[in-house]
């Protein structure tokens, strides 16, 4: 596993973004782990998060695209932090764009904020975590309504590696249904590999009991 992935896993733990216990996902599944990017709350945390996203995007897509699109609301700071990191580390100026939940009818009118989308734009979508793939169904029509644009990929922070609407993972379904390349900074398999029976900051985060709970979850909800 690449060093930046290991650093990112520990970064999530430090920021309390990655938690273990008893949770319920947006799709209604009871899960022993939860990822909430809303816990990135400081400038330093957002700067580092943008760097990890930038690395994952560079590794998967390169930088031959025009716009990074982040769905409201969590996607808004993700687009800003990541485009700034791409500029700093790769000297590439990528525009950022997000949608509003409600169309604005005065001043800077419309459903978008940040850069407008124009014909020919190649777009990468950035999200926090995709569990069942429902949010992409809302995002793509907004993007495609702006003109002759081409969404080429989706990047998330963590691939939960569980079934979407069918037997395949949500990211696999998105790739097949919408023709998008998909990637994640890390997968849950990598998280478990890095943290299982390993002491971090004086504590074993994933012990045998928690590992069994995670394995049981994947026996029920894991993707083929």
d(CA 61, CA 57): 6
Catalytic site positions: 104, 106
Phi-psi region of 62 (alpha: psi -120 to 50; beta: other; left: phi over 0): left
Q: Map residue 195 onto helix, strand or coil.
A: helix
Residues in the chain: 224
- The DSSP secondary-structure symbol of 168 reads S
What secondary structure does DSSP assign to 125-156, as a single string?
Answer: EE-SEESSSHHHHHHHHHHHTTSS-EEEEEEE
Backbone φ and ψ of 117, nearest 5°: -100, 135
Q: Do the beta carbons of residue 34 and residue 19 sit within 8 Å?
A: yes
């Amino acid at each position: 596993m690449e060093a930046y992935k290991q650093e990112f896993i520990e970064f999530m733990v430090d920021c309390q973004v990655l938690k273990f216990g008893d949770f319920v996902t947006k799709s209604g599944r009871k899960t022993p782990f939860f990822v909430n990017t809303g816990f990135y709350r400081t400038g330093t945390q957002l700067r580092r998060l943008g760097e990890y996203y930038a690395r994952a995007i560079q590794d998967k897509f390169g930088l031959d695209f025009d716009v990074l699109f982040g769905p409201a609301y969590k996607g808004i700071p993700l687009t800003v932090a990541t485009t700034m990191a791409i500029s700093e580390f790769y000297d590439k100026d990528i525009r950022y764009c997000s949608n509003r939940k409600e169309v604005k009818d005065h001043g800077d009118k419309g459903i978008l904020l940040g850069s407008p989308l124009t014909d020919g734009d190649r777009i990468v979508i950035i999200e926090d975590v995709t569990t069942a793939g429902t949010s992409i169904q809302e995002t793509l029509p907004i993007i495609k309504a702006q003109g002759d644009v081409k969404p080429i990929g989706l990047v998330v922070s963590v691939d939960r590696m569980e079934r979407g609407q069918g037997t395949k993972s949500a990211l696999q379904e998105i790739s097949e249904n919408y023709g998008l390349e998909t990637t994640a900074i890390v997968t849950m398999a990598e998280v478990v590999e890095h943290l299982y029976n390993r002491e971090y900051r004086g504590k074993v985060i994933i012990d045998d009991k928690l590992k069994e709970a995670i394995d049981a979850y994947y026996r029920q909800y894991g993707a083929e």
